[in-house]
Structure 1
Amino acid sequence: MPEEKYVLDKEILATYGEPMSRRERPHSDVRHARRQTLRNGIASIRQSFVGGSTKLYDTNNQLKYIPIPTPDPKDPLNLPPWRKRLAVGSLAIFGAVSIAAETAVASLVPVFIIYYSGISIKEVAKIKKLPSDSVSHNPLEFYAGLNGPPVWKVYFLASMPLLTTGLSQYLIVPLTLALGRRLVLVLCGMIAWTGAIWAGLSASLDSHVAALCYIAVGTAIAQNVLPLVIQDMFFIHERNRNVSVLWAMQGAISVASGVLSPIVIIHWGWRELYAILGGAVFVAWLLVCIFVPETRWERTPEELNGQSKFHLKIGEYRPELDPKIYGSRNFSSNFGIFNRKANWRTTHKSFIYTAKSYFFPNIFWIVLLNSAMVAIASAAAQMVAPVLLAKGWEFERLGFATFAILVASPVSWLICGKGGDALANYSAKKNGGNREPEMHLLNLIIPIACGCGGCILIGFGGEHLELHWMVIISGMFLIAIMYLSGATISSVYCVESYPEWAGPVLINVSAFRSIVGFALSFKVSSWVEERGYMFIWIIYAIMLGVVSMGLPIMYVYGKDIRRETDVTNLLSHLMPRDKMRWIGILTDLLHSTGDDLQLASRNLICLGTLRKLAPYGT
């Protein structure tokens, strides 16, 4: 046993005596009194320690580094700024390009409806625009009259990858926790560019859909693994702006893909489009292999809360690097794949924590909100093109509609990136230096309002074809702001609320929003055929509005929810079977009046030091 264990044992024996035998246990009334004391102690601990709440500024208003890094140069928090920027850029490009390979045909489903009806792409190219007498008040009626597969089945090209992305999360994230981030990034990147090759060689609609679902397995990392890597490399006051880079880049490259895809399909062919996208994903994958190191790093609860176990000088909030003891970064730490020991126990725990965290009220609400946003964004990607074609747009110019996303990308970055960090840090200063994850929820107000407004505009523009096409493009612009901003804010909020459970809570958010989003949008073409644009999009707006009513509740009571969901589970892991021996220990710790002793008691519990006392329970 370690030397400090013997010292601790002697102190416990001297203070609280030898373990009691079964005969020496006190009378039931005494045991009841002690149990009540223990309950009061646990209640005090819950009040003093809340997971996710951090002291971001000290009494001198100086910014602290949270999580606090170690002196090891191989710690991802200690990467030089230029290396972090290259890593974020590579991740952003890979995530955006791989998603573009998966969703490139989402807005071009009308072209594939015609193609799979037996009309070649060259003949589609000759149709500059739909004849004005071929569309009625419902743009989808023209495609339903073609002698081809059902319209809803062709729309599986846009909707089925969304479902696959959600289901893939349950495998991918646990693997990153067990084997490391870099190995999963490399494997998923290979799946993405090989899937593009398969899609280009597909010979039927079913094979085409299956290939896109295969690509979706590779691109699923963009939903949660990439934000997880950002969390590993950056302090909490930097995360918003860097996570928003991922989504802003996705928006920008989606525009480039959206503009070029119809042009490439009409003039060269859709198989050539997949060849181009597959090559772009391959290049982005190489960038990830070169510039993104392994970032999995196990940290103690005290380090996640900004408290270092290493010596710090007065006024310092991060230890100096010590390459003499820990060694400098080398080829293995920069480019290695198996440079972390596999931890399958973490994978097992992640499944348990995923199941538990889903029922946390704040996480459940975030899942519902994100599901509504994903459903609206997916439906918009599918349903805008038929309206534009009905308004006289040419097939090859459909991609210019994505310029709405290009304009929305910097706006969302200002809202949830730079603006999000500024608002959260300013609120922390006003809160005595304490930063709460609920401060990020204020940034959701604008995206939610944009989402409701975008639904109304798309419904109105789709129902009244005589209106200018800018009506429906404006709706697409507002929905893009909602989706890009909402995804960023939700990821940061979940990671900061449960820093020790970052992977499991991200699984819930990214997986369920994709699955529920698929359920709410996969038959939107049939629903629009039956009920019309305005009715369906008003339903979407009402759905988003109803779910968003939980925002003020979570903002006010979010900390209490985190206290109950996080600390209760933490204590359940730390308590030994016999709690009698703990009463004196908890009482001494909790009745201390000095700030240092109170802080020490909190650290003692967080670090799991009390587990060492378990042998003294009978």
Structure 2
Amino acid sequence: MSQLADHEDSKSRVEMVEALSNASDDKINTGDGTINLFHDGSMVLVPTPSADPKDPLNLPIWHKSLIIFLVGAYSAIGVLGTSGLGAVMPSVFQAYPNDDPARVTDLVTYPTLFMGIGNLVSMPLTLTIGRRPVFLFSLILLVVTGIWCAFSTSLSSHIAGRNFFSMAAGQSEALAPFIVEEIHFLHERSSKLSWFIGVQTVGTAAMFVMTAYVVPPLGLKWWYLILTFLSLGTLILSIFFVVETMYDRNVVEEDGPSSECKPAAGERRTLRPDIFGERTLRHDLKVFHHKPVWSRMVDFYIDTAKGFFIPTIFWILLFNGAFLGVYIYQASTFATILTMPPYNFAFDLLGWVQIFQIAVVMVLIPGLGYGTDLITKYLSRKQGGVFKPEFRLISLIIPTVMTVLGCVIYGQTGAHPTEYHWMGIAAPFHMCYLGFLTGNLIGITYAIDAFPEKAGARLMVICVGRGFISFGLSYSTVPAIEATGYDGAMNILAGIVGGLMLLGIPMYILGPRIRKWSVKTLWPALAEKN
């Protein structure tokens, strides 16, 4: 009798779960990102949160904020570790006086390539074993490789250590923002992602100043050890607070709510721990929450390859690559220009030039993060409550214009320094950095919104593609300067960014048709399901 009662109780719980998860489908649900964001004048929550306390969408605000901070801190450490040596290259060359200078520069050129390789390896794993184990392993690898680099005894060992360090840091490009997106709703993604980028940028800028004061007097060893201690602290906190965000959500929940279950934003939701169980510390500390399905890795690579044939995604990739090209060019040359006559900046002041990136963040978060979400809500209301991912692309206009102007001003100042103030270098540098951050923010948000069921593969196309682009650009910077001068190289990049901006007009207009064509042609099974 007891077993029969248990069976009936289990059966009733399953029926209750199905009743809470399923509903009739009167919404726009094409599988291509076009959904109803408003119902009866009220904004609804997309994805629809379940009644499960273990659903990451149901995490309290303080916990979500702490996750943003921790993945942002990890990203700041990773970005600084891979790109920070560029600001102290004279000290790096002094550390290897008997080695070929061309090989020494491998310490700063190869990391961007290996960040892309790291994404190629890790992102399929996140869909197979979950986000948490990959994220924690990446932090562990940062600690191990940080110690490796600190105590390396040869240039070859140092290069190898940095390559593995960069593979661990690669998850800052795709996995970290993916985690942030998964714990928030569609209407707030840009603003929350801007906070993540803000933490990353402020942390990186502060550590750039630290780099300028630590490396010249103390050497590379202590710089790596400081990064290692920061990585270890982030790892310890992440073990307790960066919970698994991969959740087997009902398709209805992913694409938007149905008419029978439309929770409004700000509405208090009722959780059902009696059905799903409580979220406990033991549950949160568990590393592996999902049984691996290894075939997903093959599917992921196939989906990634298909992504290059989607015009809007390929355009976003090129746009990100162009912004990144401008940033790499300026980050590689601003120190040389400012330390030479007529500016004659002291070497330790260069880190303080980087610190002004905090001002960029002060513009990015309120103006572009929250602004993009406000524009999206406004346009969705104007469209009868229908949300289209292309609404987010409007926010690219101002940063793109600023980047084009920044390129021209930077190039003219670099070519004719005696005719321009040093702010002609510093201000455009930060203007273009804002463009790079905006392109990153809007690009990955659009990719997730446009193809919610293939979001990881779309992020792979953008992040890995621009990683390989940046690797090529890092090798072409010096030849470009020698061949065309600062003004010539910057004018070329300004023309590329401006041309891609104009190409954004047909992408915005044709975006909905491209998404429908992509789903129908590249994923016919998904189109039939929806």
Q: Report the TM-score, using the length of structure 2 for normalisation.
A: 0.89
Q: CA deviation at 1:48?
A: 7.6
| 1:444 aligned residue (396, 405, 408) | 396
Letter in 1 for 2:70: S
Is the contact between residue 409 and residue 484 of structure 1 (CA under 8 Å) also seen in structure 2?
Answer: no
- The CA deviation string for residues 329-387 of structure 1, in whole angstroms up to 9 with x for no partner, is 12343111112221223222111111112210111111111111112212221111111
Question: Does structure 1 residue 401 correspond to structure 2 residue 353?
Answer: yes
More off after superposition, 411-420 vs 237-246:
411-420
Match of 1:70 in 2: 50
Q: 1:509 aligns with which of 462, 482, 485?
A: 462
Determine which of 548, 565, 570 is the counterpart of 2:518.
Answer: 565
Does structure 2 retain, via aligned residues, the 8 Å contact 1:447–1:482?
yes
Task: Kindly provide the CA deviation profile for residues 551-580 of structure 1, in whole angstroms up to 9, marking residues without a partner as x.
Answer: 1111101000011111444444676xxxxx
Distance in 1 of aligned mates of 2:273 and 2:117: 42
Which residue number in structure 1 is paired with residue 21 of structure 2?
Answer: none
Aligned to 1:271: 221
Contact persistence 1:416–1:489 (CA under 8 A): no
Report SS of the residue matched to 1:393. Answer: coil
8 Å contact kept, 1:196–1:277: yes
* Post-superposition offset of 1:502: 0.6
> 2:472 aligns to what?
519
Instruction: Give the Cα separation in 2 of the matches to 1:213 and 1:379.
Output: 21
- 1:531 aligns with 484
Q: Deviations over 1:247-305 (max 9, x none)?
A: 11121112111112111122222221111111112111222222110010122332112
Q: How does 1:131-530 map to 2 (within 5 A)?
A: 149-150=100-101, 153-307=103-257, 320-390=270-340, 391-466=343-418, 467-530=420-483
Q: Is the contact made by 1:196 and 1:275 (CA closer than 8 Å) also made in structure 2?
A: yes
For structure 2, the residue ranges without an aligned partner over 5 or more in a row are 1-10, 12-27
Alignment match of 2:82 (pick from 72, 93, 102):
102
Question: Any idea what SS the aligned residue of 2:288 has?
Answer: coil
Q: 1 CA distance for matches of 2:368 and 2:520?
A: 29
Amino acid at match of 1:256: A
> Taking structure 1 as reference, are residues 305 and 333 closer, same or farther at Cα in structure 2, changes over 3 Å only?
same
Please give the root-mean-square deviation of Cα atoms over the aligned residues, in Å. 2.4
Q: Measure, in 1, the Cα distance between the counterparts of 2:363 and 2:517.
A: 36
Q: Relative to structure 2, which stretch is displaced further, 501-510 or 231-240?
A: 231-240
2: CA distance, partners of 1:478 / 1:314: 38
Letter of the structure 1 residue corresponding to residue 177 of structure 2: P
User: What is the SS of the residue equivalent to 2:478?
Assistant: helix
Q: Distance in 1 between matches of 2:92 and 2:414?
A: 21
Q: Which moved more, 1:448-457 or 1:478-487?
A: 448-457
Deviations 1:530-555 (A, max 9, x none): 43222222222122222222211111
Taking the aligned partners of 1:62 and 1:48, their CA distance within structure 2 comes to 19
- Please report how far the alpha carbon of residue 98 of structure 1 lies from its aligned counterpart in structure 2 after TM superposition: 2.5
How far apart, in 2, do the equivalents of 1:286 and 1:513 lie? 31
Structure 2 vs 1, CA of residues 394 and 427 (structure 1 numbering), >3 Å: closer, same or farther?
same
Specify the SS of the correspondent of 1:520: helix
Contact 1:310 1:319 in 2 (8 A): no
**Residue 480 of structure 1 aligns to which amino acid in structure 2?**
Y
Using the TM superposition, give the Cα deviation of residue 97 of structure 1 relative to its aligned residue in structure 2, in angstroms: 2.1
1:332–1:339 contact (8 Å) kept in structure 2: no
Q: 1:450-499 deviations in whole A, cap 9, x for unaligned?
A: 22222222222221232322110011111111111111111100000000
**1:57 paired to 2:30:** no
In the alignment of these two chains, the number of paired residues is 502
Unpaired stretches in structure 1, ≥5 consecutive residues: 4-46, 119-147, 576-604, 607-618
CA contact (8 A) 1:371 1:517 kept: yes
Which letter maps to 2:163? C
Q: 1:149 deviation in Å?
A: 3.0
Q: Distance in 1 between matches of 2:471 and 2:399?
A: 21
Separation in 1, partners of 2:170, 2:330: 21
SS at match of 1:521: helix
| Distance apart, 1:213 and its partner CA | 1.7
AA in 1 matched with 2:366: L
Distance 1:91 1:104, change over 3 A: same
Q: Following the alignment from structure 1 to structure 2, what is the Cα–Cα distance between the partners of residues 571 and 87?
A: 36
Q: Flag the 1:211–1:458 CA change in 2: closer, same or farther, 3 A.
A: farther
* 1:382/1:111 CA distance change after superposition, 3 Å: farther
Partners of 2:417 and 2:265 in 1: CA distance = 65
1:248/1:469 CA distance change after superposition, 3 Å: same
- The verdict on how the C-alpha distance between 1:573 and 1:245 changes in structure 2, with shifts beyond 3 A counting, is closer
Change (3 A) 1:573 1:446: closer
- 2:329 & 2:263 partners in 1: Cα distance? 56
